[in-house]
Amino acid sequence: MRTDWTRAEIADLFDLPFTELVFRAAEVHRANHAPGEVQLCTLLSIKTGGCPEDCGYCSQSAHAKSGLKAEKLMDVDAVLAAAAEAKAAGSQRFCMGAAWREPKDRDMGKVCAMVAGVKAMGLETCMTLGMLTGDQARALKDAGLDYYNHNIDTSPEHYGDIISTRTFQERLDTLEEVRGRGSASAAAGSSAWAKAATTASASSTRWRPCRAIRKACRSTRWCRSRARCWATCSPASG
């Protein structure tokens, strides 16, 4: 997997017609996977709500007015019961997410037991727990963690618009720790990095709103309705 994409190369991908992108993606998919198969994954929130981070898009943040109550970390047995149910329903990967800035060391015994128990069922294991130290990344890897999901949100230029309680560099530091702890985790880190680099490039590209929604977004340089714009707008210069 390439991890050395330049911004110019990524911007060129974004300039392609959507159907061309879909075609190329399908070619890569067929070259590496059986075309008629999809992997089923189940995601379980093992610790919900009350996160001290202020990610502007997240209802689990303690800063959000979602009314969500903070819950404690689930018991290992309850998580393993949910994993067994997911496996019986056809899942091949079981992902566990916690609304934390980072796990406390006192939590690591429990989350590692979850990883080991899920792995022992023959499922692929995936976690997202926030930022990790090197020792925590090592403990998870040793417990049998296959993938670590770590979203770096947006480009450095726009980071403060989305989150004020951490820095872009802190996210990169965790990815480096995860990548350095073993090949399977490294693949997850690389994958996250590739996705993030794409986001960074796209976010730093100025998009002109398409005519149909120009009135709605009232912007001539930076469209707030990015998700809708990307399907229909062409990149503006400058």
Is residue 130 part of the contact set for ligand SF4 (CB under 6 A)?
yes
127 binds ligand SF4 (CB under 6 A): no
Residues 22 to 51: which contact ligand SF4 by CB under 6 A?
A: 51
- For 207, phi and psi rounded to 5 degrees? -115, 130
Apex CA 131: angle with CA 67 and CA 1, to 5°? 115
Span interacting with ligand SF4, options 55-63, 78-86, 87-95, 179-187, rule CB under 6 A = 55-63
User: Is 102 a binder of ligand SF4 (CB under 6 A)?
Assistant: no
Distance between CA 109 and CA 136 in Å, rounded?
10
Please answer whether residues 111 and 104 qualify as being in contact, where contact means their C-beta atoms are separated by less than 8 angstroms: no
Q: How far is the CB of 78 from ligand SF4 (least distance, A)?
A: 20
Instruction: Confirm if 49 and 71 have CB atoms less than 8 A apart.
Output: yes
- Binds ligand SF4 by CB under 6 A, chosen from 99, 112, 118, 143: 99
Does the protein bind ligand SF4 through residue 96 (CB under 6 A)? no
Q: How big is the site for ligand SF4, counted in residues (CB under 6 A)?
A: 8
Q: Which two tokens stand for residue 223?
A: 């469209």
CB of 144 to ligand SF4, least distance (A): 23
192 in Cβ contact with 1 (< 8 Å): no
Residue 146's closest CA among 191, 100, 176?
Answer: 191
Point out which residues bind ligand SF4 (CB under 6 A). Answer: 51, 53, 55, 58, 60-61, 99, 130
